[in-house]
Every structure is written in C-alpha cells, then in structure tokens.
Chain A
Amino acid sequence: MAPRSLNPKASDNISQRLAGQNSPQPRRRGILVGMLAFVVGIFVGIFPLGAGLLTFFDPILKKKEEGGGEDDSAGGQLLRVGLLENIPADGTPVQAPVIANLTDAWNREPNQPIGAVYLRREGDKVVAFNAICPHAGCFIGFDTRRDCFQCPCHMSSFNLDGSRQMPSPSPRDLDMLVVEEDILAKTGEVWVRFQNFYPGTADREPKA
C-alpha cells in the first residue's frame, strides 16, 4: 500500500507526491535544496553551542588573552610565612599556612589561607617545601615516628631534605620553594616565593 498523507483533507496531489509517483522537481535541484537545508540546519544548531563553548573554554581562552600569566608565575608570589625564631633549631619541620589574597571567580578576600608550606631550619638558613604532594596533590603530613614527610594517599615518603624515599610513586622530590635569604638575614622573617606545581611530572611546571 502506498503511503498516505496523515491529513485526511490533503489533496490527492499530495498523496501522489508522497507516493513518489509524480516528482515535480528535477533530481539535481533536490540535492541542492537538501544541501542547503543541511548547512542551515547545522548552522542554527552550532551557533548556540558555539556561544556556550566560548564561556566553557573561558578558563583557557582568558589565560591566552592575558598572556602575562606565565611571567607572573615564573617567580611565584612573594609571601611571608613565618619567623626564623619560631622554627625549631634541631631541624624538625613545621607546617605554616600561606596567607594571601584569595580570588575565587567573583569573590576576592584578603588574608585567606591559600596553601601551606613546611619550613625547616638548617643553621641560619631556612628550607621551604610546598606541602602538596608532587604525585597527585594530596596534603603531605609529617610523620614524627619516622621523621619523614609522609603523603597520606599513595605511600610516597620524603626525607627531611625533601628527597624521595625510593621506590616512590612520586615522580620528583618535594617542591622546594625559594626562600628570600636577604630578608631572612636582615629581619629574621621567612619570605618564600610561593608557587603550586603540576603534579605527576619529573620536571616541575608552575601552575598558572
């Protein structure tokens, strides 16, 4: 049975056309129309998607736009994390919060903890490590029983100098941060260039 129009009032003509008996248009034109319909269809569909994708990719697009991100982060943010006199002289590390302005999308708040460091004294010098594990980013603890840094996640252990205890899931030693020695010598204050690094790679790469 030939297909019928669902519209009972449809003229026979339409019924016939549906049946393909009497094609009013040449075949070539049909292809053109089809292509046009396809292109327009794709366009109207893609357009809103594209507008959405722009915002969706905003985090990477904006960074490219600003372009300066890389330079800023090269040295890290210079922040004060403690005083020399408060770090035990025997080389036991202490954890100190890193306080800075925190920007979270539309919020900006001063003096918020943005991370943590471990500080260790070596004579009159201070060594600073980012407290984030270079393996996958867990917060490292200090194991007083074993006198080493211990990640609570996948068993990476680090010696007091930040080097890994092999074998270690971590691809690199603890991320050491630059301590400003001039300021330290002059004022006894510990200022570090605070940076976060991408985990999981042997060479460390600062996060933007």
Chain B
Amino acid sequence: MNKLVAWWNHRTGLDETMHDALYENIPSGARWRYVSGSMLVFAFVTQVITGIFLWMSYSPSSQTAWESVYFIQYEMTGGWLLRGIHHFMAQAMVVLLGVHLLQVVVDGAYKAPREVNYWLGLILMQIVLGLSLTGYLLPWDQKGYWATNVATNLMTLVPFVGKELQQVVLGGSAYGHHTLTRFFALHAGVLPILLVIFLGMHIALFRRHGITAKVTPGRPDQYFWPQQVLLDALACLFLLVLVVLATVHFDVQGLVSGNLPLEHRGAELGAPADPSEQYSAARPEWYFLFLFQLLKYFHGESEWIGALAIPGAIMGILFLLPFFGRTKIGHAFSVLFILGLLAGAGVLTVLAWSEDNFTLVAERLKLNTEDPAVQKKLSIAEDFAVAKEEAERDSARMIELVNRRATMAGGELSDRLLIPKQGAVYLLRNDPLTQGPKLFDRHCASCHDYYDPNATEGEQQRWHFANQTQSPQTVAGKNEVLRDDKGNVVYDTKANGAPNLFGFASRQWLADLLNPAMYQKVEYGEPVPSKDAEIARQKNHPDNFTRPIKAPYFGNTAHRDGRMAAWLDKHIDKLDPQDVKDAVAALSAQAQLRSQLALDKQDAAQIARGVQVIKQNCATGCHRFGDAGQLGLAPDLTGYGSYEWMLGMISDPQHERFYQNENDRMPCFAKDLDHPEKNSVSVRELGLIVDWLRGDYYDPADEHPVLPHSEEYARRAVELARTVDAPSLAITGSATPAMPTKAEQAAAIFTQKCAACHSHVDSAGHGIAAKKPSAPNLHGFGSRAWLSGFLDHERIGTAEFFGNTAHADGDMVSFVQDELSDLDDENQASLAALVAALSAEAALPAQQQLDAEAKESGLLEKGREAIVSGLGGSACTDCHKFGDEGEEDAPDLTGYASQAWLTAFLSNPAAPRFYGQNNDRMPAFHKPENGERNLLTAEQVELLSSWLRGDLKD
C-alpha cells in the first residue's frame, strides 16, 4: 500500500501539492474571521455543480425555456431542490461578496502589496453580478423578462456603442430565441470560465502574499490544516443549511412531515413571459433593488447618471482604494467609503421596498392621504400589490393548465395534457379564466357591469366591474350644472348603460329580469367630485356631479321602455307564478350553464312544463322559441344564453336572430367572419369572454372538467348562431322539433321582410303585428272582407289600410272618401258586386265556394260591369287596367291578388303595370337583374304570395 502511494506521489507530485495547500502558515492561528473566502469558493462550486445538472434539463429558446424550467421545478425528482439551491446560493454568494469586500477593506487587505489581488476580487465581483443578471432571465417568466428588459434597455445609454451593445447582447433588436441562447452561453459558459480564471489568479496571489492576519501576541501560529480547514468546513455547512432552509422557505415542519406545499418548494416560477401582457410587478432581484431605486431620482436626460455614471464612479473609486490606502487618512476614507456604500445601498433598498408597500408605510407613518404625492405613491403601490397578486395567480393557474385533463367520451378523465408545442404562453393566452375578465374590461365594461349583486358589503369579489355613470345636464352654453327650482342637480336621462352580466341566463338572473321592478331598476350613487383639485373646488362644475348608477337589467338602456317592459307590466302579474318559475327554469336550461347542469337534470319535468309556457306566452307575438313563434321582433329564445347564442349575439347583435334594428348601441364586435381583420374583436377573444361569462373554463376540481373551446370551434359556433332556420335549433328539455313547415317558413319571411311596415293580424288581433304599421294590414288580402274594408270610405284612410302611406292623400283614397260615401241602395249593391268580382280575380282558396256561387248567380258579371262602367261618377278603369279596358295610371286589376299577380307585385311593385312612379317605399323583393343582391329569392316570393293568399295550411 505504502509503495503504491509513494509511486503515485512520485509520478504526480500530489503530496507536495497537498502539502503546499494545507500547510500554509497562519500567524496567530485559525480564526472564524478567515472563513468568508472559503465560503465564497464553496458557494461557487455549489453553483457549478447544481448549474451543470440544471443545464442537463434546460432548453434555451423562447418556446422551451419556461417549459423546461417548469419541468425541472414540478416534474423532475428533486428538481425543485436543485433549482432552489442554485437560486438561493446565488443570493448567498452576493451577500458573502459584500461581507468579504467589507472585511478586505476594513482589515486593510486591499493595501500594498495586495492591490492586484484586490482588483482581481473586484473583477470577480463583476462576474458574479453578471452571472446573477443573466441567470434571472433564463426561466423566461414575466418577472425575469420585464426586469431584465429594463437592464438591457439601460445598456443603450452607454455612449457611442450602446445600441450596438444591446443588439449584440439580445442577439437582435428584440427579445427572442437568441436572447436566451446568448444569455445562457454567458451564464453557463463565458462567465464561469472567466470566473475560474480570475479565481485561480486570486487564490494564487493570496497564497503569494499570505493571509492578512490579525496577530494576537501570544497566540501561537497554526497551519491551515487542520484547524482552519475545520472552521471553513463548519462555516460552509452553516451556509448550506441556511440555503436549504431558504429553499424550503424555512418550513421545517413541512419538510419533516414530507408534504411541503408547492409554494415552499424552492424558487418561484412566474407565468411565462409575454411581451404583450402588461406586467406591473417587475422588479429586479433584491440585491439590485438599490440600483432600481436610484433610477427614480434622476430625471429626464440625467437618467444616465443614475444608470451608468454613479455605478461606474463607485466601481472606479473602489478600484482606486489601494492608492488611498497608503496613508492612514486614506485608509480611514476607504473604510468610510465602503461603509457608506453599504449603508446607502441599504437605505435605497429599504426605500424601494417601502414604496412598493406604501399602503402599509402610509398607515404606519400616518401620512396625509390628501397629499397628491402620497396619493400617487399609494396608487402605484396598490397597483403593484394587485399586479403581484395577479402574477401569483397566473403562475398558480399555469400549473393547473399544464396538468389539465380532458373529459373523455365515457366520462373518464384523460391523461394530463401538458404543454402544447406552441408553448406555455399559448395556454395562458387561451384560458378564459385568465383572459376573460381582462377582455371584458377592455371591450365590455364601459357599458356592462359584472358584479355579484348578492355579495355582502366588504366581501372581496374577484371581479367587480361597475362603471356606469350618469352626467348632469349643463346650463346651455356654460360649463355649469343645471339645477331645478329646489336647487337639485338635473341629470341627463339618456340611457347609457347595459345589464349586469354576472350570472347571465342563470335562473336567478332570469327570474329578476322578469320582475318589472328589477327590469327597470336603477340605483344612483352619490356624485363623485372631480379628481382635479382645481375643478373639485368649483361648486357647479359638471365634472363634480357625475354619479355612479347601478342598473342591473335594462334600466339604463333604450329597452327600459320597450315592448318587453310594457309586456311585463301588463302580463306578468296575470301569469301563474309557478308558470313563471317553470318558464325561467326552461329558458335558463337553454343556456346549458355548467353551474346549473345538475339542477337542470333534476328539474327536467319542470323544464318541460316551462317550455310550453314559453311557447304559449313568449313565442306568440315577439320571440321565436324553437319551432314556435317567429323571428324579427325580438331576440330568438332558441338556445338562449348558450355558447352559440352568446357568440352570435355579441358578434352581431343586429343579426335577424337578435335585436336587428332595435339594437341599442351594442356594437357588432365580429360581424364579418370572412374578413377577420375588419372585426374590432377577434372571434377567439369573444369566445374567451363568453366562456368566462358562462363559467366554461378548466377547473381541476370539476368532476368533468372542460377545456377551452378552440378558435375554430368558436368560428363555427358563430356561423351556427347566424343560421336562421338550422334544424339544430332544438330546445333543451323538449322533443326535437320537426323541420319548419312551409307556412312557418313563409311566416318567418313575412316577419323579417314585411312586418316592419305591414301587419298580418286577424280581427281578433292574432297574428304578426308590424313594428311601426305604415302600410296596410295584409291579413286576408284580396278577400271580399278585405276589399270591402278597403273600399269603405271610413276605413280606407285608417292605419289598417292607406292611413300611414303616401297614398293617404292620393286619388284612390279621395275617390273612395268622396264618391263612395253616400251610396244609394242600388249603388251599394253594385259595390258589393264589384267587390265580389274583384275578389274573384284572386281565386283565393278560402273563397272557392263563394266565387262559384257568384258566378252562378251572375253576381260576377254584374260586378265586372261595375268595374268598367263605374259607380257614381267614375269608373275603376279610368285609372286602372282591367282586362282589355282601362288606363295604366294605377295598378292593374286583372287577376288582382291572384298568385301570379301577387308574385309579380311583390317582385317589383314599381313596375309600370303596378305603381310605377307612385310606388310608396315598397321595395322590389326580387328583380332578376339583381342576382345575389335580391332581398328574396324567386321561390321565397312565391312562397310568401301563397301564404298571404292562405294557400298554405299549417
């Protein structure tokens, strides 16, 4: 054995090297105060070891950096411990550097002959700081990204080469893959190699000059081995224990019990970097905070002083210290300088911290919160706190998202879906829970509220949007509020808000909506004085009287006095309350809200009853509901509140399934699916908002969790929502409806295209009512009843016929009113015959019998005669054409109201055969030359005529 050792030593000289290393003489013996250097070496070695293992799992690129760190942190065995040690040892290293430097200066170890070694030490310090700066970016989380962003931006302030410097460091003009590859190469390659080289020289010079000993007379010299080595080892052990404790966030209990919570496992990992995502909690690592704080004090163009000049000057002075150290006074200066430096950095760090936690500070110091400067800091600190909270939430959310599972067909859960190729940021950008509220805030919250109305005061709500306000009226021409006789401010009563969408389409929401008091409810808050102190002082300035207003449903919209409100007032009380409840449950079931799925299932019978109630009460005049009712007057209730319905509504509220032209200020957010670039919000984003509103986002606690809808799915949903008569418009909770019959299709066409002006209601008031009747009621058009009414001098001028048309002052109306008013019996009889004859032209199916009888009895003959020869003074053929006779000044009466006549008339009422020049606003529904742009197809016109003539039976 001994021989072997001797051979080894002879060949390698190891014994001599060991001897040289260990038998360094220490005057007055080993001391604790000599341990800091060894500790630094130990820290560095730890970083190298842990770093190399991290390297084995790390992948630098903007698509994989965060992802690989995530994997280390949460998936790999002991990964968090490895990363934690690396992270906290880095911090320990910076602290130790400070201590070491302080010691070197105070003990005078920087003085001759050790100047060079001191300078080497300063270079080593720069390298370590460079290591921590580059390391901060590598996880590619929001915090590292934005903090490093500031540092690299400051680089551009370097004179002459600043911008080039930045580009070389970033590997381009913006952050990206090459920023990471470069930072990583610096962090794991260049800087450590430099550090090893300089550390080697540092130690070599240290050995050359020996230790700067504190000599105590009488205390014997010792060799480095074994006493000092033991002290060093113990110190390193202490450091390691401390770092490990920091790694478990001093949660010894959790560590021992073996279930350490995630947030106590090593270094934190924020949400993945996203350059388009505002991040207001960006702060550098704590030991750089003083530099960060320093930047606040240099204003405008002097920024470079704080960013470069002062740190540069400090480093310069540090380099010069050995020259000062030659004299006693100089040494005193050096010591003061280093102490001052540390104290200054400490004060700046405390200031930075206190400004970020200013709420606390202001409270403690009882600062005057009226002071604008204090207010500013408070406001910034509040935002900072919110941002930090959000950052923590986002990073916790990322863990949930990476571990999301899909519900498979059988109801079982899939394997974890992990991170897609596009990267983790893709998951977060498409998470309704994260993005929904932000997008709602951006696009909806200026009109819509979102808050839980049942939350008690003071209860923290995660989302609270309530921005509706009401402005005072102003005195004409003056910037002054208008006051009434009693001196009260008069407010603008224009509707300017929209419903609270919290729980939209839920049972609670709908039950309140159907309550007339709630439907129109408005609550006013106290006026809020202007934030501008100058304006706030002016008693009558309008800016001081804007008051918050809470209108949970339609109280602050144009619909507050609309048909729905009127209907509620009139009818809701008369309905059986149980019916209303059923209807609410049924309508709410259409939304298929996840929060109500169980309830919907359980109340299936109630819902089935409710479906009937809706059909009987809502789908008779205004709404459509599945196969009942028609579109055109009010939003379609089919699929109400469902994903498709909401996307359809938001993307284009003016679509015929929704509000059409009664839409009240709601923008069409994504009308044009073929040109997505024209839309103000992308369908993807609308989908995120809808998913969030409906609670359709991944929740790991769910038994059957859902994943966000894809962009493609959202697009298809919009398309589906815009399909007017898709067979898929099934009612949840009722049997599948059949395809609409021809009569239903025709009625739908009438509602959409005609009912703006024409009604189609029978004498009992049943049917489709016009929104603003401005043309004749077409029910029974061409029938004897209709014609007798038309030719009745008392009725032709009413809204039922020509009352609201341009024809009201025309020849026809004056003819009927003048010539047909006082008819003798004989003329009465001729008029009746005329009506019968004209009506027979229509050949209406309902009059078949009557027409045949009339022909038999010669009534037709008589009537035709009357048309040509006239009643009273003039004949129809004076203006109209009838068969071969007559003029073309008014519509042709030949075949009047027959299928062919009606089809031709609807197709183009302004044709010379019909109204010609005299046509009053009636559109041409189908002209062959219009091709695609026709309002109706030829088949639809045919269908509509048949229906008007009563040819189609339900």
Contacts and interface: CB of A to CB of B under 8 A. Distances in A.
B301 A202 contact: yes
Given A95-B442, A141-B280, A169-B295, A155 B275 contact: no
B296 A146 contact: no
Given A147-B531, A169-B303, A139 B278 contact: yes
A200 B62 contact: no
A101 interface: no
Interface in B285-325: 292, 295-301, 303-304, 307
B177 A105 contact: yes
A207 B62 CA distance: 21
B737 interface: no
Contacts, number: 147
Interface string B442-484: 1100100000000000000000000000000000000000000
A83 B442 CA distance: 13
Nearest to A104: B176
Given A138-B149, A141-B278, A200-B156, A105 B178 contact: yes
Contacts of B297: 169
Interface stretch (B165-173, B233-241, B637-645, B879-887): B165-173
A154 interface: yes
Given A59-B171, A60-B168, A104-B62, A135 B303 contact: yes
A182 B772 CA distance: 38
Interface string A176-208: 000000000000010000001011111000011
Contacts of B403: none
Interface in A145-192: 145-147, 150, 152-155, 157, 166-172, 189
A136 B380 contact: no
A113 B376 contact: no
B780 interface: no
Interface residues of A, number: 59
B384 interface: yes
A119 B893 CA distance: 62
A82 interface: yes
Contact of B177 (A104, A141, A169): A104
B150 A153 contact: yes
Contacts of B677: 80
Nearest to B178: A105
B804 interface: no
A185 to B, nearest CB: 17
A136 B163 contact: no
A115 B177 contact: no
Contacts of A94: 442
Given A169-B303, A198-B163, A202-B300, A114 B383 contact: no
Nearest to B163: A198
B736 interface: no
Interface in B148-180: 149-150, 153-154, 156-157, 163-164, 167-168, 170-174, 176-178
A97 interface: yes
Contact of B299 (A137, A150, A167): A167
B299 A146 contact: no
A208 B173 contact: yes
B280 A200 contact: no
A168 B376 CA distance: 13
B157 A200 contact: yes
B278 A95 contact: yes
B146 interface: yes
Nearest to B447: A88
B173 A59 contact: yes
B154 A136 contact: yes
Given A152-B384, A157-B376, A170 B156 contact: no
Contact of B680 (A85, A154, A208): A85
Contact of B446 (A60, A88, A189, A208): A88
B295 A154 contact: yes
A142 to B, nearest CB: 10
Contact of A143 (B156, B172, B355, B379): B379
Interface string B357-392: 000000000000000000110011001100100000
Nearest to B283: A153
B529 interface: no
A49 B673 CA distance: 55
Contacts of A147: 531
A22 interface: no
Given A60-B164, A141-B383, A169 B680 contact: no
Contact of A171 (B173, B282, B303, B376): B303
Interface in A108-154: 113-116, 131, 135-139, 141, 143, 145-147, 150, 152-154
A172 B176 CA distance: 27
B383 A143 contact: yes
B740 interface: no
A151 B507 CA distance: 43
A136 to B, nearest CB: 5
Given A85-B667, A86-B680, A106-B177, A146 B276 contact: no
A135 B380 CA distance: 17
Contacts of B156: 198-200
Contacts of A143: 379-380, 383
A169 B298 contact: yes
A166 B301 CA distance: 13
A107 interface: yes
A169 B300 contact: yes
Among A97, A131, A169, max chain B CB count under 10 A is at A169
A38 interface: no
Contacts of B173: 59, 207-208
A103 to B, nearest CB: 8
A86 B443 contact: yes
Interface in A6-61: 56-60
Given A107-B177, A157-B376, A139 B279 contact: yes
B837 interface: no
Contacts of B177: 104-107
Given A145-B531, A150-B380, A57 B153 contact: no
A116 B531 contact: no
A169 B178 CA distance: 30
Contacts of A154: 292, 295-296
Contacts of B678: 189
B788 to A, nearest CB: 51
Interface in B771-785: none
7 contacts: A63-B167, A92-B446, A105-B171, A136-B303, A152-B387, A169-B300, A207-B173
Closest CB pairs A-B (n = 6) = A113-B276, A152-B280, A104-B176, A137-B153, A83-B680, A105-B177
Interface of B: 62-63, 146, 149-150, 153-154, 156-157, 163-164, 167-168, 170-174, 176-178, 274-282, 292, 295-301, 303-304, 307, 355, 375-376, 379-380, 383-384, 387, 442-443, 446, 531, 667, 677-678, 680
Given A104-B62, A105-B171, A198-B153, 9 more contacts: A59-B172, A104-B174, A152-B282, A154-B295, A171-B301, A171-B303, A200-B304, A201-B301, A207-B173
